[in-house]
Amino acid sequence: MSRPTPVPVRLAALLTLILATGPLQAVTARSQPSGSSSPAVAAPSLERDKLTSATPKGYLSEEATPNLAAILPPPPAGHSPAEAADRAIYNATRAYQGSARWALATNDVADGGAALLEDYACVLGQRIDQTRVPDLMRLLDRARIDVARATRVAKRRYRRLRPFVGNEAPICVARTRELADSFSYPSGHAGQGWAYGMIMASLMPEKATQFLVRSRLYGESRVVCGVHWLSDVEAARTGASALMSVLLADPDFRADLERARTDLKRALNGEGAKPDPAICAREDAAARQPLL
């Protein structure tokens, strides 16, 4: 059996083809693989504008929140090799429609603490009812607000359009005006997932690798889904890491982190339902498989 072509070689070949043939044309609906299921309803990341009085308060003031518009580089410029690579990856990953990886990306549309806690079930070895870990949920919900605030600044600074805008290529969520009008860079979902992975790694350092692998997959799902460029996801990880460096210095965050640690330890008593082995196998396969 022949060995698979390394990812850098495949990306280089894609980019060479792009530059040789001129501007990349968007994939059309005619090229969609068959056998797809109905897309999930889109779930845009939480924006500060949508917060209500019932929404938990974040840990950081606006002044203390890292300025991701300054920390992150601008997204790839139009007609640049980097933008061409982003477009090539978007087009190539449309072929995932109907696959196990597409199903995982559709699952990963859901965001927030409860959704990510379920996504970490295979790492934890059991499913945890969020009502049993109120301190952990409070920690995740408050940190989510900080991720949303930090991400919003960069999104509004760069106003990058999502990859599916202007074409009819398949994506794993319903095409809504709200999603199309929200900006792409950096990815709010991927930033939230990476921040949550770092939090869980802090709570259970013995499983840090597994949490961060699952968080990487969560971010890559945004590319597979077709709602983010790869550079959006890469920037989100940088932004989330910057935010976490400040959160870890905040006394309220650290206090909640310790309460969540006790919460989680108490919940991991082996009495929870076991995760679906098929889901764990799907995640393991995705972790071993390059994006392209």
pLDDT digits (tens, 9 = 90+) for 97-136: 999 999 999 999 999 999 999 999 999 999 999 999 999 9
Predicted TM-score (pTM) of the model is 0.84
Share of the chain above pLDDT 70, in %: 81
- 206, 235, 208: which is closest to 222 by C-alpha? 235
Superfamily (CATH) of domain 78-288: Phosphatidic acid phosphatase type 2/haloperoxidase (1.20.144.10)
Rounded mean pLDDT, 172-177? 97
Residue 133 vs residues 97, 101, 111, 165: alpha-carbon distances, Å: 36, 30, 17, 39
Q: What's the pLDDT score for residue 105? A: 99
Average pLDDT rounded to a whole number, residues 147-162 = 98
Residue 153 pLDDT > 50: yes
Model pLDDT for residues 211-233, shown as the tens digit of each residue: 999 999 999 999 999 999 999 99
Of the candidates 185, 138, 134, 188, which has an alpha carbon nearest to the alpha carbon of residue 160?
Answer: 185
Token code pair at residue 287: 């972790």
Inform me whether the pLDDT recorded for 20 exceeds 70: no
> Which of the four pLDDT bands, split at 50, 70 and 90, describes residue 6?
very low
Give the model's pLDDT for residue 216: 99
Q: Tell me the percentage of the chain whose pLDDT exceeds 90.
A: 79
> Domain ranges in the chain?
78-288
224 vs 33: which has the higher pLDDT: 224
Confidence grade of residue 270 (pLDDT, cut at 50, 70, 90): confident
Segment 69-80 mean pLDDT? 98
Residue written as token pair 């929404």: 55
Kindly state the average pLDDT of the residues 17-42: 39
Predicted local confidence at residue 26, as pLDDT: 36
Q: What is the pLDDT of residue 45?
A: 52
Pure H helices in 94-250: 100-107, 113-119, 121-124, 134-158, 177-181, 188-203, 208-225, 230-247
For residue 274, CA distances in Å to 69, 98, 127, 128, 290 come to 42, 26, 6, 9, 28
- Residue carrying structure tokens 């082995």: 277
pLDDT at 38: 44
* Band (40; pLDDT cuts 50, 70, 90): low
Whole-number Å distance between alpha carbons of 47 and 238: 19
Checking if the pLDDT of 160 tops 50, the result is yes
Q: Which residue has the higher pLDDT, 69 or 50?
A: 69
